[in-house]
Amino acid sequence: MIRRLLLLLRQPRVARAMFWPRTLLGVVWAAPVTAFGLLLALPVVLFRGNVQMVRGSAFALLARGPVADAMLSHHPFGAMNAMAIGHVVIAMHGGLSARVLVHELAHVRQAERWGILFPFAYLASSAWAALRGKDAYWHNRFEIAARKAEKRS
């Protein structure tokens, strides 16, 4: 029964019809994470930055500007082109290719699924990889899934 329902939800026509209901539930469920993302995006937007809405496999607010460039190039996990925090994507001005956006929107969907648990699940996955002697970023299950989403796009 549940398996049949899951198969039904994966059909493209049904998946399209479910986009906004699923997104609305995801927005509520991920709201605490998104609130943190908005806090980080605030200085990005206030200091000569801009914000726009983007939509792909999920929707997100995209914040870019000089503060985002500085933030991402000095990120404690290493320099990166973009990062997703709930429904907020903070990106380098010149670093947002279509592929990077697909990757970040995959993280937005993960946040919709995991909600407030997402940051903890993400860190636990990195810790689990590191404990097994693997790379904490590259072998994180959420990163693996986001890279798979890039290939599907």
Site string for Zn ion, 115-144 (x = CB under 5 A): ----------------------------x-
Q: Cα–Cα distance between 118 and 139 in angstroms, integer?
A: 16
Q: Which is nearer to Zn ion, 61 or 84 (CB)?
A: 84
DSSP-assigned letter for residue 65: S
In the complex, the smallest distance separating the C-beta of residue 58 from Zn ion, rounded to whole angstroms, is 14
Is position 146 an interface residue for Zn ion (rule: CB under 5 A)?
yes
In the complex, the smallest distance separating the C-beta of residue 142 from Zn ion, rounded to whole angstroms, is 7
Q: Cα–Cα distance between 52 and 142 in angstroms, integer?
A: 25
The H or E element spanning position 149 is: helix 141-152
Q: Which is nearer to Zn ion, 85 or 146 (CB)?
A: 146
In the complex, the smallest distance separating the C-beta of residue 126 from Zn ion, rounded to whole angstroms, is 11
Q: Which is nearer to Zn ion, 11 or 73 (CB)?
A: 73
Task: Name residue 64's beta-bridge partners.
Answer: 50, 91
Q: Which is nearer to Zn ion, 112 or 143 (CB)?
A: 143
In the complex, the smallest distance separating the C-beta of residue 12 from Zn ion, rounded to whole angstroms, is 25
The upper half-sphere exposure of residue 102, i.e. CA atoms within 13 Å in the direction of its Cβ, equals 12
Give the residue at shortest CB distance from Zn ion. 146
Q: What share of the chain is helix, strand, coil (3-state, %, to 5)?
A: 65, 15, 25
In the complex, the smallest distance separating the C-beta of residue 48 from Zn ion, rounded to whole angstroms, is 26
Q: Cα–Cα distance between 61 and 85 in angstroms, integer?
A: 10
What is the binding site for Zn ion (CB under 5 A)? 143, 146
